[in-house]
Structure 1
């Protein structure tokens, strides 16, 4: 049988990165939103795209669009709150 190519990291990777940074530093909601949106875009488009100098401009543009729409801004705030509230899971006993 033919195997499927990998689709890239799961979106939870972006959440995990956001959570780690939130625990390390005191970041504003906008900074957390930028990290989460940037992580999701990097997960979607790959490391090569994320390393492009124009990627930061893309992240800012997407974040600006999200923030100008009331419903989208509320969804982002909820996502940030969910990520920050997440507790790391203890490894399961085998």
Structure 2
């Protein structure tokens, strides 16, 4: 059995948010709408996978496989691993 988990998606007027944590109302009063499971992702690193990062700058999320230890220049996004792809 592979260590995979669903990634859930929520949306508001300006942003999408992806999380392994199920939350039908992410963000409370920020008008987020839960859209359900978007895809599955490995929740531990297995051979042949790379980290998938969730970068956040206080207003917007940005997702990619590239690692930026000081955040993404200019926008001050800071990341954490969402899972592995």
TM-score by length of 1: 0.24
Q: Which structure has more strand as a fraction of its residues?
A: 2
Q: What TM-score results when the alignment is normalised by the length of structure 2? A: 0.25
RCO (CA 8 Å, sep 6+): is it higher in 1 or 2? 1
**Greater Cα radius of gyration, structure 1 or 2:** 1
